[in-house]
């Protein structure tokens, strides 16, 4: 994967979320397919250790503004500190578990998302 491709994904999924907060909201119990190109992006981010940004992509597709902003604040704090402190890691994992329960209910291809993670 090229570095410019990774930068594009980060810019689109993290930087714009923080500045615009342009998250679509979907009705509850709206079962749909997770976009395949986003699953590929998630895999690329995970391989380069950008886990929180991958979670932001998933939360955006769920339409959960609160979850997106929480993951974004975790990412900002870890960028400022240069590492992910244990308390933020624990919080991120708790949010991840909650989010993935919702992913299983919402997306037909949730197994593909798990495989990308």
Percent of the chain with pLDDT over 70: 75
d(C-alpha 99, C-alpha 95), whole Å: 6
The tens digit of pLDDT for each residue in 77-95 reads 998 899 999 999 999 999 9
Q: Tell me, what's the pLDDT at 70? A: 94
24 with 61: CB under 8 angstroms? no
The tens digit of pLDDT for each residue in 19-32 reads 555 556 665 667 89
What is the band of 53 on the pLDDT scale with cuts at 50, 70, 90? very high
102 with 28: CB under 8 angstroms? no
Question: DSSP alpha helices (H): ranges in 15-85?
Answer: 16-20, 36-47, 51-62, 65-81
pLDDT at 36 over 80: yes
Q: Tell me, what's the pLDDT at 30? A: 74
């Amino acid at each position: 994967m090229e570095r410019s491709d990774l930068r594009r994904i980060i810019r689109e999924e993290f930087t714009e979320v923080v500045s615009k907060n342009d998250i679509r909201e979907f009705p509850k119990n709206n079962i749909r397919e997770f976009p395949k190109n986003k699953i590929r992006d998630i895999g690329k981010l995970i391989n380069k250790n950008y886990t929180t940004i991958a979670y932001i992509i998933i939360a955006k597709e769920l339409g959960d503004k609160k979850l997106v902003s929480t993951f974004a604040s975790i990412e900002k704090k870890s960028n400022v500190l240069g590492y992910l402190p244990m308390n933020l890691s624990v919080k991120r994992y708790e949010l991840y578990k909650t989010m993935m329960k919702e992913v299983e209910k919402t997306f037909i291809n949730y197994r593909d998302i798990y495989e990308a993670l």
